[in-house]
Amino acid sequence: YEEKSHSGRLKYLQLFVNPKNLELQLAFVFCGAFLEEKEIAFVKRLYKSGMFHSIWANFSMKRTNSIFGDRWELLEGKEEFFQEICGVNFCFHPSSFAQAHLSLFEEIIQYIEGFTQENSSILDLYAGVGCIGGVLAKKASKVFLVEPSPLAESCFQKSILSEELRSEERRVGKECRSR
């Protein structure tokens, strides 16, 4: 893809790895509204290699500095991609923001957790998929997650159904709101 002329097909490539099980989520960002036959064949070959948990396409036609467009399509694999953070599994859509330095992020959450009082109320602004609030939920009486992305809220709802947050569903799941 060439930005100035707005020509070419592949604008961006994103790989998200779960370091615990080495699963890979691959996302292509295409300039266009559909996949061409040769791109479909390429994706099928990639997926058959066995290296990928899932392969996604995002379609972006706008000339902006935003990487992702509004339309996502799961091409191969499973929709739900989980990553363990501080012992809790969280679901990540390819559009979800994720920390690049996972071990440092876990240290920061544990540091915050040290300041969190038992039975406190927590407000997590721009919560994303709910990693911070979800981990802190075990000490809180209520957790409020505020996130503008409906895809992030959907991921959090899938996360609370995982075994790690099942006991917290009553306190956390009903409080998650998109705005």
The pLDDT of residue 1: 79
- For residues 170-176, give the mean pLDDT: 41
16-70 pLDDT tens trace: 998 888 999 999 999 989 999 999 999 999 999 999 999 999 998 888 778 899 8
Q: Would you state the structure tokens that stand for residue 145, as one six-digit string?
A: 């997650």
pLDDT greater than 60 at residue 171: no
The pLDDT of residue 159: 84
pLDDT greater than 70 at residue 3: yes
Residues in the chain: 179
The pLDDT of residue 63: 81
Three-class HEC string of the chain: CECCCCECCEEEEEEEEECCCCEEEEEEEECCCCCCHHHHHHHHHHHHCCCCCEEEEEECCCCCCCCCCCEEEEEEECCCCEEEECCEEEECCCCCCCCCCHHHHHHHHHHHHHHCCCCEEEEEECCCCCHHHHHHCCCEEEEEEEECCHHHHHHHHHHHCCHHHHHHHHHHHHHCEEC
| Prediction pTM value | 0.81
pLDDT greater than 60 at residue 151: yes
CA nearest 28: which of 78, 80, 68?
68
pLDDT greater than 60 at residue 178: no
77-112 pLDDT tens trace: 999 999 999 988 999 999 998 888 899 999 999 999
